[in-house]
Amino acid sequence: MSYFTCPCCSEKTYIFGKDGCSKLVSSLGIDLLGEIPLYPLICSKSDQGTPIVVSEPLHPVSLAFIEIAKILKNKL
């Protein structure tokens, strides 16, 4: 989880610090696949058996997961 998007103003808050993961993967010589925002429905939808990419495929969180999947597919 990379950041929290405020539901009122849409501002991103990097709870764990910004660019920390980017710096880490760069120092290790590996690629950063993407950033997944903190979003409560990721967990609850998954627990219900309907991941957010299925229940809300156009949600920004779903699109982030889909983009990471595309990157992984191209790498494999």
* Residues 35-58 pLDDT 10s: 898 888 899 999 999 999 999 999
- Supply the pLDDT for residue 71: 95
Q: Which of the two residues, 1 and 42, has the higher pLDDT score?
A: 42
Comparing C-alpha atoms, which of 32, 23, 25, 20 is closest to residue 67? 32
- Supply the pLDDT for residue 5: 87
Domain-wise residue ranges, the chain: 4-75
Q: pLDDT at residue 16 above 90? A: no
> How distant, in Å, are the alpha carbons of 7, 10, 35, 40, 73 from that of 3?
13, 11, 8, 12, 24
Comparing C-alpha atoms, which of 25, 53, 23, 58 is closest to residue 41? 53
**pLDDT above 70 as % of the chain:** 99
